[in-house]
Amino acid sequence: MNPFTRRADETRHWRHDAACFGEDLDLFFPVGVAGPAVWQVSRAKAICEDCPVRAQCLEYALRSGQDHGIWGGLTPHERRELRRADDVRGA
* Residue 51, domain member (yes or no): yes
* Residue 9, domain member (yes or no): no
Q: How many domains does the chain have?
A: 1
* Residue 74, domain member (yes or no): yes
What is the identity of the amino acid at 89? R
Provide the pLDDT for residue 46: 97
pLDDT reading at 7 higher than 60: no
Buried b (16+ CB within 10 A) or exposed e, 49-59: eebebbebbbe
Strands of the chain (E only): list them. none
* Residue 50, domain member (yes or no): yes
What does pLDDT average to over the chain? 88
Residue 71: domain span: 15-90
- Identify the band that residue 47 occupies on the pLDDT scale cut at 50, 70 and 90: very high
* Residue 1, domain member (yes or no): no
What is the identity of the amino acid at 35? G
Instruction: Please indicate whether residue 73 or residue 9 has the higher confidence score (pLDDT).
Output: 73
Instruction: Please indicate whether residue 57 or residue 89 has the higher confidence score (pLDDT).
Output: 57
**Distance linking the first and last C-alpha atoms of the chain:** 34
Q: Which residues pair with 71 in a beta bridge?
A: 74
Average pLDDT over residues 33-47: 95
Q: Provide the whole-model pTM.
A: 0.80
